[in-house]
Amino acid sequence: MGTARRYGPYGGSFVPETLVPALDELDRVWRTARGDPAFRRELARLSRSFGGRPTPLYFARNLTRRGRGAEIWLKREDLVHGGAHKFNNALGQGLLTVRMGKPRLIAETGAGQHGVATAMVGAALGLETEVFMGEVDMDRQKPNVDRMHLLGAKVIPVTTGRRTLKDAINAALRDWIANVRTTHYLIGSAVGPYPFPAIVADFQSVIGREIRRQSLAEFGRLPDLAIACVGGGSNAIGTFHPLLRTRVELLGVEAGGPRGSRGAASLTYGRPGVLHGSFSYLLQNDDGQVSDTESVSAGLDYAGVGPEHSWLKETGRARYIAVHDEDALRAFHWLAEDEGILPALEPSHALFAAVREARRRPNQRIVVTLSGRGDKDLGVVLDAAR
């Protein structure tokens, strides 16, 4: 399941020859690490004492009243160290880097959340850390640039293309090709060439495993529906994986952007193609050029999506929809005012879908993965309210 090289026709590894040995080594080291009790103990120890896991499963009583139907429960990944689920993957891959004996980490970042998570882990594990970030994003997300600096990481401005996430990934891949013997590329979502999608799913599956355990403890059975937002797809695949062989319905929510646009909804509006080393759904124009995307949430603003989601869509095991910017903003305010929680704008897309689903599901239970907290988004939310 988590170790497939391909997901039906999706996935694969479309990379230059020079990267093949590094991908093979990573695959080998990850597979041995998974089976090594010492590695698992260390991962569990740091997840707990550094990361703050397990995160709670919270009954959103007031949001449930608003939905007037199914009970809505929140998986509180906003309480993980750094304020988002990104830490789970950064920690896991950081430990793999140490195991491979590589002294240097590189990463790409869009909104800066993955860069911050990588910088925290790099500091704690004593790894030299450099983060590629588009110049446009560095302007938009200055507080995260400051955080990365304070955590001892170097931030490298990317000045090519549209100077945003896609260009930052290209720059990181180029650096990796040049420095592959000393460097691990810590990809931040369930995307990229094999084995990255499988590794990221593995380290994020702690979310779904805890949902299983906590649902049984809180209400005596699994939820009827699990919902998560989908950018590259890592918090969603981590939520879904441990539930794949159950009867729980799975719903992924993409960024629909402003009304009338395709936003960044690769699975909803795209078609399969190759981007960043793997074959998956992709927003592209008629000539196969990767489309420009737009979304109120920087973390969902990516034209591609992890290959396993393409397969889950095609097999019908998971369903995917798009939610527009203004609906995500509405859900942000609902959660703030109803529950006293400021959510990130990314999971606000999933929250909107949850309230809508709840209305037609009396007597059911819905778990929504609240992938991050909203402090980083206050500027956007306040501007939108003006």
Binder among 91, 198, 229, 275 for ligand PLP (CB under 6 A)? 229
Q: Residue 22 phi/psi, 5° resolution?
A: -70, -40
Binding part of the chain for ligand PLP, among 5-13, 15-23, 214-222, 231-239 by CB under 6 A, reads 231-239
* Alpha-carbon distances of 131 from 128, 161, 230, 272, 330, rounded to whole Å: 10, 17, 23, 29, 33
User: 345 and 377 in contact (C-beta within 8 Å)?
Assistant: yes
Only one of the segments 145-153, 178-186, 254-262, 340-348 lies at the binding site for ligand PLP (rule: CB under 6 A); that segment is: 340-348
Query: One of 71, 77, 108, 130 is an active-site residue; which one?
Result: 108
Residue 372 contacts ligand PLP per CB under 6 A: yes
Does 234 bind ligand PLP (CB under 6 A)? Our answer is yes
Give 55 or 235: the residue with its C-beta nearer to ligand PLP. Answer: 235
Residue with the two structure tokens 């590794």? 199
CA distance linking residue 11 with residue 201, whole number of Å = 13
**Residue in the shown chain whose Cβ atom is closest to ligand PLP:** 372
Determine contact, residues 220/256, Cβ cutoff 8 Å: no
Of 53 and 102, nearer to ligand PLP (C-beta) is: 53
Q: Which stretch binds ligand PLP (CB under 6 A): 68-76, 99-107, 225-233, 311-319?
A: 225-233
Residue 322 near ligand PLP by CB under 6 A? no
Catalytic pick among 13, 47, 86, 308: 86
Name residues contacting ligand PLP, limited to 164-193 (CB under 6 A).
189
Nearer to ligand PLP, 218 or 294 (CB): 294
Residue 299 CB neighbours (<10 A) = 31
**Binding of residue 94 to ligand PLP (CB under 6 A):** no
Q: Which is nearer to ligand PLP, 69 or 233 (CB)?
A: 233
Active site residue 86: yes
Within 13 Å of residue 382, how many CA atoms lie on the same side as its CB?
6
Closest CB 108 distance from ligand PLP, rounded Å? 11
Of 231, 242, 270, 304, the residue at the interface with ligand PLP (CB under 6 A) is 231
How many angstroms separate the Cα of 282 from the Cα of each of 108, 232, 277, 346? 19, 11, 12, 19
Residue 346 sits in the site that holds ligand PLP (CB under 6 A): yes
Beta bridge partners of 57: 75
Whether the upstream peptide bond of residue 195 has omega within 30° of 0, thus cis, is yes
User: Edge-to-edge, what's the strand order for the sheet holding 278-282?
Assistant: 6-7, 10-11, 278-282, 271-275
Can 154 be counted among the known catalytic residues? no
Select from 228, 256, 276 the least CA-distant residue to 326. Answer: 256
Q: How far apart are CA 281 and CA 139, in angstroms?
A: 29
Identity of the residue, 69 or 341, whose beta carbon is nearer to ligand PLP in the bound complex: 341
Q: Residue 60: count other Cβ atoms within 10 Å of its Cβ.
A: 25
108 annotated active-site: yes
User: Can you name the residues that pair with 372 across neighbouring β-strands?
Assistant: 84
Q: Of 43, 165, 230, 318, which lies in the binding site for ligand PLP, with binding defined by CB under 6 A?
A: 230
Per-residue binding letters, 35-74, with ligand PLP (x by CB under 6 A): ----------------------------------------
Site string for ligand PLP, 115-154 (x = CB under 6 A): ----------------------------------------
In the block, tokens 């650096």 appear at 175
Q: Quickly tell me which residue has 């078609």 as its tokens.
A: 271
Question: Minimum CB separation from ligand PLP for residue 181, in Å?
Answer: 28
Closer Cβ to ligand PLP, 94 or 343, answer by number: 343
Count residues near ligand PLP (CB under 6 A): 19
| Residue of the chain from 235, 284, 293, 295 that contacts ligand PLP (CB under 6 A) | 235
Nearer to ligand PLP, 69 or 331 (CB): 331
Least distance from C-beta 286 to ligand PLP, angstroms?
27
**Binding-site ranges for ligand PLP (CB under 6 A):** 84, 86, 113, 189, 229-236, 299-300, 344, 346-347, 371-372
Active site residues: 86, 108, 371
